[in-house]
Structure 1
Amino acid sequence: MNQSSGRGPDRRNHTGRPAKPGDTRGSKPADRRDGKPADRRDGKPAESRGGKPADRRSGGKPSDRRGGKPGDTRKGKPGDRRGGKPAESRGGKPGDRRGGPTRSRDREERTTDQQTYDGPPIPDDIAATDLDRYARDQLSNLPAKLADRVARHLIMAGLLLDEDPETAYAHALAARARAPRNALIREACGETAYAAGHYAQALAELRAARRINGQHLYAPMMADCERALGRPTQALTYDTPTTRNHLDQTGNIELTIVIAGARRDLGQHQAALQLLQTEPLHTTTRAPWATRLKYTYADTLHTTGNTHEALQWFHRVIATDPHHTTDAPQRITQLEQELAAENDEK
C-alpha cells in the first residue's frame, strides 16, 4: 500500500490476542499514506445490530421451525403438504402452487443469510480457549455453546486479519449473526471491515460498539474511515479533549497521525507538520507507533518542500522498523534521485 499520508492506528485484533507489533497482529505503517486509511489496532470483529439470520426462538439453530427439521412444516415429510403427498400428485409441480415462487425466493434469501450465519469453515484445532481471557470475559453473558462458536470465529478473524482480511471479515460477520449486541463482536467486525477496505461498514460497526460500551478507543480508526470516505473535515471532529483524555499514549499518537493526515487532505500541510511536532518524534523506542509517527513526519516534510530534512527522517524510520513495514528504503532512493537532479541543474 502506498505509504504517503498520515494514516492511523494499527489493528489490535479481536481474537483477543495482541496482533503483532503494538497490540495486534501485524500492524502496518501509519496511514494510507496519502489520504487513505491505514491499519488498525485491536483487530476484533464485531457487529450488526440485531439481524441474526434465522436463529431466533430456536436456540441459534438456523432454518429450524416449531422444533421440526429444517425445511419441514407441520407433520409431513420434507416437501409434502396436507398428509404428506407430494405436490405433483395433486396435479401441480413442486413449488408452483399457492405462492410457490414466493416461497422459493424466501428459501434463496434464507440461504444467503445462512451462509453468513455459518461463516467460513473453522479448523478443528481452533479451540475457544485460545481466545485471551479479556475477550472470553466479554462473551461470558452468552450461552456456553454459543460463546464457544463465537470465540472460534473471533480467533479465526484475528489470525486472518493481515493475510486474508475478507475471510477475517466473514468470520466476524458470522460471530455478529449469533450475538449482534455484543460490543466485542461489533468491534471485531469494525476492525476486519477496516482491514478489508470496507470503510463505511467499519465506521457503522465501530459506532455500534461505541454505543454499546461507551468507549473512545475507536476514535483513531473511525476518523481514518472518515478520511477514506473523502470526509477529512468530519475526521477532525474526533479530535476533542474528551476523546484525548480517554486515550492512552499510543491511542493519542495514532489519533494525531490521522488528524495530521486529514489536515494534509485539506491542503493544510504546515498545520499537519506542527501537529506532528507535538508528539515524541525523537523517541528511541521501536514500538510500531514510533515507526508510523516518524514516517508520517518524513512524508509531510517532503510535501512541504523540505527534501533534505525528509531524507534524514526516512533514515530514522528504517532505524525503528526492523520488520520492514514501510517503503522507507524506496522513499530514500527517490529523494536521493531528486536531490541529485537538483544538483545537476545547478
Structure 2
Amino acid sequence: MTAWDLPGAARNELKTLSKDNAENVARHLAMAARLIDDDPELAHQHALAASRSAGRVGVVRETVAITAYAVGDFALALRELRTHRRITGSDEQLPLIVDSERGVGRPDRALEEGRAVDRSTLTVPVRVQLAIAMSGARLDLGETERALQELDIPEADPDRAFEWSPALFSARAAVLEELGRHEEASEWERRAQIAADALDAAAGVADREVIVVEEIDLIDDEGGVDVASGVIPVDDVDADVAVASAEDAVDGSARSDVDDRSGDREDER
C-alpha cells in the first residue's frame, strides 16, 4: 500500500504536511478505505492512526467519522463530522450527521440538522442520502406518513437508475411496508433490484458514474442496440428496461469515462 493508492483529491488535502508524514497518513487512509466494508474495526484503527499525525486535515477527520459510524460509535462520529464541517465548510456529510444523531437517540435533533441547510445547495447524491436519513428519523418518531413524504423527491423515478437509486427505492419500500401497503412495497423493492442489476451490468461495460434506465423503445426494430442512443442491452433485467449511459446519450458518437465523484465515499473511506 502506497500513498498513490489514495485518490488524488484526498492526497491534495495532505499537502500541508511534511512529505514523510503525508505519505504515512495517505497509506493509513488508503487502508481505511480498503478495509471499511470487510473489517470496519481495523479500518477505524487506521483512521485513528492517521488522525494522530494529521488531526487538522479535513479528509482525516472525515475518515475517522465514517469509520466510527461503521463500528457504531455514533457519538465519536458526530464529533468528528462537526470538526470536518468546521474545517472544510462542507455539508457533504450532512446525511451522516443526521443518521448519527439518530444513532445517539436524538431523531428530533436529526430533523433539525437536516432542515437547517438549503437542500438546493447540495449535490444530488447528498440530497438523496439526506432524504433517506430524514425519512429514517421520521420513522424513529413514529411519523410514518411523513417518512414517506420525505422520500417524495424527483430522484425517486423508478425508470431511471443512478448510483443512489437502489438505496432510495429500498427506503421507500420499507416505509410503504410500515404503512401496510404491501403490493406497492414489493414493487419498489423489485425496482431497487432492477436498478442494482442494471448498475452492476453497466459497471462491467465501462467506468461510468451515471447510468440511466430507459424504456425499451430505444432498442431498434430488430432488437439490436441503437448506437446513437448509447443503449447497452442487459441480460436478466426486466423486459421493459435497458441500460443507457447518460454521458453517451449526450454524445452518441463516443464513450468517455466520467471522473469519480466525491473522492467517493471511497475518497473518505
TM-score under structure 2 normalisation?
Answer: 0.71
Correspondence 1:229-248 to 2 at 5 A? 229-240=104-115, 242-248=117-123
1:267-318 alpha-carbon deviations (Å, 9 max, x no partner): 1111111221234222434333111111111111111111121122221121
Higher helix share: 2
Which residue in the other structure is 1:149 paired with?
24
Structure 2 gaps of 5+ residues are 201-269
Which residue in the other structure is 1:200 paired with?
75
Q: Verify: 1:287 aligned to 2:162, yes or no.
A: yes
**Do the aligned residues in 1 keep the contact of 2:29 with 2:50 (CA within 8 Å)?**
yes
What amino acid is the match of 2:152?
A: Q
In the alignment, the residues of structure 1 paired with residue 27 and residue 102 of structure 2 have an alpha-carbon distance, to the nearest angstrom, of: 32
Correspondence 1:218-237 to 2 at 5 A? 218-237=93-112
What amino acid is the match of 1:292?
A: A
Secondary structure in structure 2 of the residue aligned to 1:267 = coil
Which residue in the other structure is 1:185 paired with?
60
Q: Give the superposition deviation at 1:249.
A: 0.5
Q: Give the superposition deviation at 1:259.
A: 0.4
Q: Give the superposition deviation at 1:263.
A: 0.7
1:127-161 alpha-carbon deviations (Å, 9 max, x no partner): 11222221111000100000010000000000001
Structure 1 residues 153 and 214: alpha-carbon distance in aligned structure 2, compared to 1, 3 A threshold:
same
Higher strand share: 2
In the alignment, the residues of structure 2 paired with residue 235 and residue 243 of structure 1 have an alpha-carbon distance, to the nearest angstrom, of: 15
In the alignment, the residues of structure 1 paired with residue 170 and residue 160 of structure 2 have an alpha-carbon distance, to the nearest angstrom, of: 14
Structure 1 residues 244 and 324: alpha-carbon distance in aligned structure 2, compared to 1, 3 A threshold:
closer
Count of equivalent residues: 200
In the alignment, the residues of structure 1 paired with residue 148 and residue 166 of structure 2 have an alpha-carbon distance, to the nearest angstrom, of: 16
Higher-Rg member (1/2) = 1
Percent identical among aligned pairs is 38
Structure 1 gaps of 5+ residues are 1-125, 326-346
Q: Which of 23, 41, 44 is the matching residue for 1:169?
A: 44
More relative contact order in 1 or in 2 (CA 8 Å, sep 6+)?
A: 1
In the alignment, the residues of structure 2 paired with residue 281 and residue 245 of structure 1 have an alpha-carbon distance, to the nearest angstrom, of: 16
C-alpha RMSD of the superposition: 1.8
TM-score under structure 1 normalisation?
Answer: 0.55
In the alignment, the residues of structure 2 paired with residue 241 and residue 260 of structure 1 have an alpha-carbon distance, to the nearest angstrom, of: 16
In the alignment, the residues of structure 2 paired with residue 267 and residue 130 of structure 1 have an alpha-carbon distance, to the nearest angstrom, of: 44
Secondary structure in structure 1 of the residue aligned to 2:192 = helix
